[in-house]
Structures are given as C-alpha cells and as structure tokens.
Amino acid sequence: MLDDFMVRAALAGIGVAFAAAPLGCFVVWRRMAYFGDATAHAAILGVALSLAFSMSIFVGTMTVALLMALVVSVLSGRGYAMDTLLGVLAHSALAFGLVAVSLISGVRIDLMAYLFGDILAVSRGDLAVIWGGAALVVALIGWRWSALLTSTLNEDLAYASGINPKREQLVLTIALAITVAVAIKVVGVLLIAAMLIIPAAAARPLSRTPEGMAVAAGLIGMLSAIIGLRAAFVLDTPAGPSIVCVAAITFLATSVLRGFRHQR
C-alpha cells in the first residue's frame, strides 16, 4: 500500500496535522504566531547546516529552531519590541540559510521543495520521522496539558499553583521545534506557520472547551491535507499550498458560521 506515492503523501499530511493541532491551539491562545513563523524561517539555515555537515535534515532543522527560541528568550525585553525582534531574526535566518545553501559545493538542492514543501516525494523513511515526531509532540503536550493551560490562562495563577510558566514555555518551544523539523518536507518553511495557525483558528468557533478545540483543529488539518492533495492532483496545482488553501477556506466557513450565531 505504501508503494503508492499519494498514500504516502496523505499519511504525511495527516501526521503533520496530528502534531500541529494541539500545538497550534497554544500558538493561537498565546498569540505566538510571529514566534512560530520565525522558527519556521530559521529551518532553512538548519537545512544548510545539515548539508554542510552531512547530518540528518531533521536534526539540523530542530537544532536551529531551538537555538532561535533561545536567542529570542535572551534578547527579549532588552529594548526591542517582540514583533520587531522576531521579524529581524526570522528574515535574517532565512537569508543566511539561502546564502549558505548556495555556497555549499558539490550539493544540488531544490530550494522550492524546502520553501513550499514536496509532499509527493515523501518516502517511507520520511513517514517514520514525521509520525515519530508527531507522536512525540502529542505526548509532550498531553503530558503538560493542564500546566500549559494554566500558565496560558494566567501566569500569576500558574505560580500560585506551583507551576513555572517559563518551563511550560520551554515545553512549547521544544514541541514547536520538533513540528517544524517534521513539517518542512510536507508543506515547506513558508507554509508551516499556516498549518499551525489556520486549523486552530478555524476550530475556535466550533469548540466549547480547549480539548474540543484541539480535536477539531486536528480533524480540520487532516481533512485539509486529504482534500488539498486531491485538489492538487485534479487541478495540477502545488500540493503544499493547496492544503493550506483548503484550510483557509475552512477558516472562512467557520468564521461566517460564527457571524450567523452572533446575529441570533
């Protein structure tokens, strides 16, 4: 069954949606969209380092994503607005990564595949990495779910409950780095943040509880992957962007639904 490239592509898309759903909810709740975008942009620099030192793309991108988060934590609160700092770091990391890739001799790389994803070229080994990373992210978020919710709701309440919000921020950072590392092959650097944010935002009007929102975001992400792949096959369009387009249409639909509910 896994010899069919469309089956592998669908499983890869579902795996990324599975990882991105609960994490994307926290990104939306904490208003960390810029942070997710900056981490994703830094992944290209991780690709360049992986090629230069002949190591796994997964390891390289995850390492750079974690370093980006560490740099943001160190520099935040030192005279720069957070959105300015993230903008500078995100685009600088992307630019340095692209330049570094071009300077590596003896290596030919399809930059478009890393920028926009190449889900149709996913191999069995890639599937193992994607689903392994997704399982790790879900396990990590599930393990710290209550503490993450409390620190997201109110930091003072978290401290009163014996929870360290900075530690929970580190958990989210690690989960985000893993998600970026597994998603780069599927939707690419430029669309990773979209898969984190859009399904979670689309699920918000449909949910009454945080757990319900995470489940709904996962279902929306998975359906977006399947329908987007089918649309790409029929219309001969890029697969990664097609998946994001389906998620965006779903967000529009749920937003209209919420508008109708408010009018009643």
Give residue 69's domain range.
5-191
Count CA atoms closer than 13 A to 14's CA, side-chain side. Answer: 12
pLDDT single digits (tens) 206-252: 888 889 999 999 999 999 999 999 999 899 888 888 999 999 999 99
Residue pair 174/68 in contact by the 8 Å Cβ criterion:
no
Q: How confident is the model at residue 157 (pLDDT cuts 50, 70, 90)?
A: confident
Does residue 88 belong to any structural domain of this protein?
yes
Does any domain span residue 51?
A: yes
Q: Which pLDDT tens digit goes with each residue over 70-103? A: 777 677 656 666 677 777 887 888 888 888 877 7
* Structural domain total, the chain: 1
Segment 19-41, tens digit of pLDDT? 888 888 988 888 777 777 777 77
Domain membership of residue 176 (yes or no) is yes
3-state secondary structure of 1: coil
Residue 162 resides in a domain: yes
Q: Is residue 161 part of a domain?
A: yes
Domain harbouring 135, CATH code: 1.10.3470.10
Neighbouring CB atoms inside 10 A of 261's CB total 9
